[in-house]
Structure 1
Amino acid sequence: MSAAMLPVFCLNYSKEIMIMIKKSHYREGERAEGRTCAEGWLPPGMRLRTVAAAVLCLSSFPSMAQQVSQDSEKNVFTLGTVQVYGKSQTAAEEAEAVVERDTLEMLEKKDVGTALKLIPGVSYNSPGGGRYESSVYVRGYDLKAVPIYMDGIPVYIPYDGYSDLGRFTTADVSSIQVAKGYSSVLYGHNTQGGVINIVSLRPRSELDLNATLGTATGNVTEFSTNVGTLQDKWYLQAGISHFERRYTKLAENFVGTDARGNDVDSDRYDYKTRDRRGSIRIGYIPNATDEYVLSYAKQSAVKMPGSGGNDRVVPTVWEWPSWDRETVSFVSNTRFWNDQFYVKPRVYYDKFQNTMDYWQGRPNGSHYDDKAFGASLEVGTEIIRNHQLKAMISFKDEEHRSFDTSLANGATLPGSDQKVQQEFLSLALEDTWTINDHWEAQIGAIYTKRKSDANDIGPVTQDLLDRYPAAGSKLSPSIDTFDPQLAIFYKPSDAHTFRASVAKKTRFPSFKESYSNYAAGPTTRCPGGATGCTPGTEVGALTLQNPGMKPEQSMHYELGYVGHPLPGMRLEGSVFYSRSKNTFQRSDYDFDTYPGFAVRQYENISGITERKGVDLGLQYSASPRLLLGVNYAYLHMRNKEDRDLKFTSRPSHLGMVYAQWRTTNWLTVIPEVEYRSSSYYDSKGENENPGYAVTNLRFSITPPAWKHVSINVGAENLFNRDYRGYNATYSSPGRVVYANLRIDYH
């Protein structure tokens, strides 16, 4: 086979692997009989042929090194970053925390949630709860206040502002950028606690290829390939990925009752997750400064119990047979007038659809059909000496539709179809002023106006509406906010940058917080002391909309440093203080406002919430063969008016230590230890989740004859530590052993 034909062969074979994987999936409800195709295993012969062909593809690439030019540029899709197209990176851009692709691969972070553990000040929560979602807190702010962007496009779910970070794999990620507290106003609205921006790959050369084929405990199948070409006037980037885990090994055997009500004695979660993603991007680059890019991406996920039988633990009675997202976007950058001006338009359409089935005890399924259309126009100039001036106008239209269907026949249940819509219009201004060789300042402000429409939400019960017509109000007033911010940077030399910043940030209430409207009971008991019902009797339990809430606001103050105090060392650190007011929280049941009913709503709680702490991150090349990394974060949260109120699942101390030790020219050893202190389990502070430390270990082999190939094996939770939270029914995930082949050729 010629070298020119090899990429075509490998791509075609990648497709065959995907077909074989698809055929190997077990069918719903089919009992497993050993390691068969029905349980999701490839037959031994097929596995041998698959690995052998993969090795052939991987090992053959070094022979092509003489035929393809190399490009030292990083594979970062720069139009997907929120940055100024100036002559050099500004101090404000340097202040953002970044996880590069090399680090993601070195520490085997397979999804964005686990990757964010590498950022000081970010705490990660493993998948759990009825929704079996993973999440993070950034300096104590949850994902509703720290929106997720992909290449500068917001991809959080419009309904509640969340996103399951386990569904975002890192197969085609070049870097993850995190702004904590202070963030550029060009990100737009709702960035109350910061921003997480996932940046995709961009080709580096005429042939840029990376691929991974692997497996792990839990009958994991991992496959991904990204192929790109960079030509004189254009480039093309395409990728596909598949990651499936058919069960999760527990840290120790669980004996008890699972979510199905079955008595089990097992060391496995029988809960399957599968994530697939495909993307393609074509870019036109007519000159050294301009770029025009059209992108399309689709991801599909499944979360549901497998077919392991009644002897395995099923952790939740909810399942998602579909969790799908589709995004199309156009973004460009054009410079003109002797490169002193630029214009950067961005247009996107993002569609999110999912189906949630209650497969245990409730005969219906719930469906989301959310859409978002957005556009922005950013313009900038450097015509004024030492100033980079930017202005952006942006528009976003969000729509949430939900409906329930019968699992028996798929018909939409009467009265369950609801639709709400909201629009955001923002105007942002920002000036980066280079005062002299040592001082830089950035001042910005953003104005946002929100309009909302919820006419298609019906009454939670007609009985309530008949007795209390005011309970049916869906009027949502137009809300506008103005958020200014300022940052000062001092650079005594190129190796050190100090900063001080202050920023006002706002978050608008989500659809869920404004328009949750459903029967929550059906009944609950009237407590003693209530005036709207007779104590001891049963009354209807309802969750009612509250569209008139104020936006939640925060003030952030920060002192920070980033630099290179020693050769080969990078140190970043910050001390921060934040104050938040009008925080959203769902109330306890109110038995008095609507006599005869128990009603709860989301509301703005009184009082100021304070957050203060320290973030530290260090990476040090101690020698050509040894790299060391250390992260640490401290967080203290309190409500000033209610000192007894505790904030759950927010540890005071977080830490991580890792090393990359190249023992020989072909073997690298990578140990890693993650530490997390205890955290409160309930808001009264009566119970705590325990602290823990988890050890991971990885070996990477780079055969001298295959310089573009690495063979990686390792173990997560090496010592099989059970670090479950307080009152958690099941053990935490246990030891996971993995192995993969990876190629990176450009």
Structure 2
Amino acid sequence: MTIRYYPLSSTRYRPACLTALASALLCLGVQPALANNTATGNQNVFTLGTIAVQGARQTEAEKAETVVDRETIDLLEKKDVGTALSLAPGVFYNRPQGGRYESNVIVRGYDLRSVPIFVDGIPVYIPYDGYSDLGRFTTADISEINVAKGYSSVMYGHNTLGGAINIVSLRPQSELDASAIVGTATGNVSEAAVNVGTRQENWYLQAGLSHYEQKYTRLAENFVGTDARGNEVDSDKYNYRTRDRRGSLRLGYTPNATDEYVVSYSKQEAVKLPGQTGSNGFVPTVWAWPKWDRETVSFVSNTRFLDNKFYIKPRVYYDKFDNTMDWWRGMPQGSHYRDKAFGASLELGTEIIENHLLKAMISYKDEEHRSFNTDIHSGATLPNTDEKVTQEFFSVALEDTWTISNHWETQIGALYTRRKSDASDVGINTQNLINQYPAAGSMLNPSIDTIDPQAALFYKPDEDHTWRASIARKTRFPSFKQAYSNYAAGSTARCPSGATTCTPGSSVPSMTLQNPGLAPEKAMHYELGYAGRPLPDLYMDASVYYSESKDAFGRTDRDFVTFPGYAVSQNVNLDGKTERKGLDLSLNYTFAPRLSVGLNYSYLHIRNKDDSSYRFTDMPEHFGIAYADIRATEWLTVTPSIEYRGSSYYDTKGEDKNPGYAITNLKFSVTPPAWKNATFSIGVENLFNKDYRAFDDEYASPGRSFFANLRVSYN
């Protein structure tokens, strides 16, 4: 069970930005000066993309999810889903770094493999490893982000060990809904997006285009030395370029007040590359992504029948992911992913039993991962590199929401999932070892069954206060990477002293073996929470939680004994249990009509119950954000904010720590009196140019960055 997030201001309307985009709207015959946008609530949310049932009342469990809405995302200038999720209590954001230069979030101590990403209810994680680079998902065309932490509806389906994140798109509510933005920022940033929709008597159309490119990143101080490509540099820039483009189209048919039939299509293209050769700045990684593309087509509908006491909600989708990664260490190679997924679900619900909302869902998903390597210079496919792995998921979910009285509500659910996997040509990279020791090539493909029950109880003494308690058992299946990843790649390891199967001090081949027999990771979640208004102008959401997981996935140390003459490691289910406990707190207080403030604070403690000396890395105990919405005049808004993150362990022995830090941001927004639907914003992030790099990180962290943009909207 989770927290619903509300914006700082008591009003939901925030006018959009200024004049350069006014011309784009004028081309549509729109007069921005005459626009009167008085939209309130979540009326632009694509409701079929949520887990809630269209036409039915919202359950208390649905209300308990954290919601990061469009207004707050714009208020604090969050340009991608990763940074936007940092606005939800219990979630902290990790900036792009490492060889992959990917950003991610951690939800109550669980990473994205345990908290999958959905877009309008469709899972969009990469089948190979279960990850999603959140920096590639821009916020240009989303209405809100729903976050379920720990307890989540069984209607989300499998693999929600730590919860679920659902990105919900825009949906038009008038004959013409239009919004646009243009902007720039430090780093030679170019930003442009437009969303246009129309809602007619029994149909609607929504379309969007967005572009966001950053050619370099200004750092807090100079780096002097050799970068990842071997170049001697003296610079305060990451010479690394990212570009994200996305287009989306949705056509909906609404024959009556309850039924809806929608076809959607989206395509996003991204690149992550070193900047122009010879330009100022250093390159932080030897890897580059000339291609990071995703394409999705889907159909979803909601139909009510038998006097509206039953509904049926089918969902069908096809998702394709094309990824090319180049690297220059050793033999220059390109690694290519051609992943795809087909999925379908059928949800049936009824309120025929008084005070009960009964739901049942069956779902199927077929995932395929194919990879191969090429020579960077010739483009030729390298021999013995073509691999293909598939897995199928079949799930059945049952859920009953019982309104016991005006004050009490309970929800009980259960999810059954069966997974089957298959592989071809996996293990070819370690063929020498497999030929010599056949046991190393065991290709078991077990079918795994799991049953996850859960329950939640809500007490609502009046409209201003809701108490909640929940318990949930959750499961995560091993990803392709964890079960089948194997490689030799010519690497070696030094034989340790005292070894009997190799000569101490000598180099032996180092290999990683697949392990298709991995068992699922399991977790139990417990939570107590409160949401309401203890004071008339104060909204508060607080929760305490405890979770315990076992059979977590990890990699063994190098083994020099089992296969003499080789140093071998493998993914395994780790012994012991991991305990996570903490507190999430969200406060929003309106001091006056023109002044409101917000505070999110989270406490997280993680430990291995069977090994008290083990330390979890990069997991701060304290983190949060504080910010204010100051309406200085009718046309000027000032938004200061501070994002805080406590220290964390750098290594599992606890010998070194990453320092804690606080980052200050400041924004000014102007809405000209003659252009009530246009807003021009300028601001600065990391105002005091804080260098908050991690321990042993030779590259400085992102420094002070200025931005300016113009938003225009009409509906």
Q: TM-score, normalised by structure 1?
A: 0.91
Q: Displacement of 1:521 after TM fit?
A: 4.8
Match among 674, 677, 690 for residue 705 of structure 1 = 674
- Residue 659 of structure 2 is matched in structure 1 by 690
CA distance in 1, matches of 2:222, 2:122: 43
Structure 1 position 78 matched with structure 2 position 47: yes
Residues 545, 601 of structure 1: 8 Å contact kept: yes
> Which amino acid in structure 1 is aligned with residue 131 of structure 2?
Y
Question: Does the alignment pair 1:486 with 2:476?
Answer: no
Amino acid at match of 1:596: G
602, 605, 609: which one aligns with 1:636: 605
Deviation sequence 1:666-705 (CA, Å, 0-9, x none): 0000000000000011111111110000000001100010
Could you say which residue in structure 1 is the equivalent of 2:426? 457
3-state SS of paired residue (2:428): coil
CA contact (8 A) 1:696 1:717 kept: yes
1:373/1:398 contact within 8 Å kept? yes
SS of residue matched to 2:491? strand
Counterpart residue number, 1:370: 339
CA distance in 2, matches of 1:480, 1:70: 47
Q: 1: CA distance between counterparts of 2:431 and 2:219?
A: 47
CA distance in 1, matches of 2:433, 2:136: 39
The within-5 A match list for 1:128-527 is 128-307=97-276, 309=278, 311-519=280-488, 521-527=490-496
Distance 2:594 2:360 in 1: 46
Greater mean alpha carbon deviation, residues 693-702 or residues 457-466: 457-466
Return the alpha-carbon distance in structure 1 between the equivalents of residues 194 and 58 of structure 2.
Answer: 31
Partners of 2:28 and 2:236 in 1: how far apart? 36
Structure 1 window deviating more from structure 2 (463-472 vs 579-588): it is: 463-472
- 1:609 deviates by 0.3
Q: Residues 618-633 of structure 1: matches in 2 within 5 Å?
A: 618-633=587-602
CA distance in 2, matches of 1:492, 1:52: 49
Q: Percent identity?
A: 67
Give 1:40's aligned residue.
none
Tell me what 1:17 maps to. none
Q: 2:31 aligns with which of 61, 83, 100?
A: 61
How far apart, CA to CA, are the structure 1 residues paired with 2:158 and 2:234? 49
Q: CA RMSD in A?
A: 1.7
For the residues of structure 2 that align with 1:95 and 1:70, how far apart are their CA atoms? Answer: 23
Could you list the per-position Cα deviations for residues 39-96 of structure 1 after superposition, in whole angstroms to 9, with x for gaps in the alignment?
xxxxxxxxxx977956977996235548x99897620000000113453211101110
C-alpha distance in structure 2 between counterparts of 1:51 and 1:622, whole Å: 34
Amino acid in structure 2 at the alignment position of 1:182:
Y
* Whole-angstrom CA distance in 1 between matches of 2:120 and 2:24: 31
Could you list the per-position Cα deviations for residues 459-504 of structure 1 after superposition, in whole angstroms to 9, with x for gaps in the alignment?
A: 3333212210111111121000000000000001011110010000
**For the residues of structure 2 that align with 1:531 and 1:332, how far apart are their CA atoms?**
65
Report the counterpart of residue 9 of structure 1 in structure 2: none
**Residues 235-274 of structure 1, C-alpha deviations (whole Å, 9 max, x = no match):** 0000000000000000111112111122211111100000
Deviations 1:320-346 (A, max 9, x none): 000000000000000000100000000
For residues 561 and 234 of structure 2, the distance between their equivalents in structure 1, rounded to whole angstroms, comes to: 47
Indicate the residue corresponding to 1:536 in structure 2.
Answer: 505
Contact 1:455/1:474 (CA < 8 Å) preserved in 2?
no
Question: How far apart are the structure 2 equivalents of 1:537 and 1:69?
Answer: 74
Equivalent AA in structure 2 for residue 483 of structure 1: D
Tell me the equivalent position of 1:18. Answer: none
Does structure 1 conserve the Cα–Cα contact (< 8 Å) formed by 2:681 and 2:710? Answer: yes
- CA drift at 1:436: 0.5
Q: Would you say the 8 A contact 2:430–2:486 is kept in 1?
A: no
Hey, what does 1:32 align to over in structure 2?
none
Letter in 2 for 1:591: F
SS at match of 2:440: helix
1:599 counterpart (558, 568, 584): 568
Return the letter of the residue paired with 2:443. Answer: K
Write the deviation string for residues 488-543 of structure 1: whole angstroms up to 9, x where unpaired: 00001011110010000000000000001111552111112333322212111001
**Do the aligned partners of residues 520 and 456 (structure 1) sit closer, same or farther apart at CA in structure 2, a change above 3 Å counting?**
closer
Q: Does 1:101 align with 2:101?
A: no
1:369, distance to aligned residue in structure 2 (A): 0.5
Alpha-carbon distance in 1 for matches of 2:358, 2:694: 49
Q: Is the 1:319–1:359 Cα contact (8 Å) retained in structure 2? A: no
Q: Contact 1:340 / 1:381 at 8 angstroms: preserved in 2?
A: yes
The residue type equivalent to 1:200 in the other structure is S
CA gap of 1:563–1:59, structure 2 versus 1, over 3 A, is farther
For residues 316 and 593 of structure 2, the distance between their equivalents in structure 1, rounded to whole angstroms, comes to 45
Does 2:607 correspond to 1:645? Answer: no
TM-score scaled by structure 2? 0.95
The 2-side partners of 1:549 and 1:730 are apart by: 37
3-state DSSP of counterpart to 1:460: helix
**Using a 3 Å threshold, how does the CA distance of structure 1 residues 55 and 667 change in structure 2: closer, same or farther?**
farther
Cα distance in 2 for partners of 1:607, 1:219 equals: 49
Structure 1 residues 695-745: Cα deviation after superposition (integer angstroms, max 9, x where no partner): 000011000100110001101101110000111121000111000010121
2:605–2:621 CA contact under 8 A, matched in 1: yes
Distance 1:58 1:568, change over 3 A: farther
- The letter of the residue matching 1:62 is P
Change (3 A) 1:615 1:71: closer
The answer for the alignment partner of 1:44 in structure 2 is: none
Q: Distance in 1 between matches of 2:588 and 2:623?
A: 17
How far apart, CA to CA, are the structure 2 residues paired with 1:158 and 1:271? 26
Structure 1 position 736 matched with structure 2 position 702: no
* Aligned with 2:628 (options 659, 678, 681): 659
Matched with 2:530 is: 561
Match of 2:15 in 1: none
Tell me the secondary structure at the aligned position of residue 601 of structure 1. Answer: strand
CA distance in 2, matches of 1:53, 1:269: 35
TM superposition shift of 1:360: 5.0
Of stretches 323-332 and 55-64 in structure 1, the one that deviates more from structure 2 is: 55-64
- Secondary structure of the corresponding residue to residue 493 of structure 2: strand
Alpha-carbon distance in 2 for matches of 1:297, 1:459: 36
Separation in 2 of the partners of 1:527 and 1:180?
Answer: 44
Alpha-carbon contact 2:310-2:351 (below 8 Å) kept = yes
Counterpart residue number, 2:16: none
The separation in 2 between residues aligned to 1:203 and 1:412, in whole angstroms, is: 47
Structure 2: gaps of 5 or more residues:
1-18
Q: Which residue in the other structure is 2:8 paired with? A: none
Q: Which has the higher contact order (CA 8 A, sep 6+)?
A: 2
Residue 515 of structure 1 aligns with an amino acid whose one-letter code is Y
Q: Which residue in the other structure is 2:9 paired with?
A: none
Could you tell me whether the CA contact under 8 Å between 1:612 and 1:636 is conserved in 2?
yes
- How many Å separate the matches in 2 of 1:419 and 1:115? 35
**Which residue number in structure 2 is paired with residue 609 of structure 1?**
578
Q: Which AA in structure 2 matches 1:597?
A: Y
Question: CA contact under 8 A between 1:710 and 1:742: conserved in structure 2?
Answer: yes
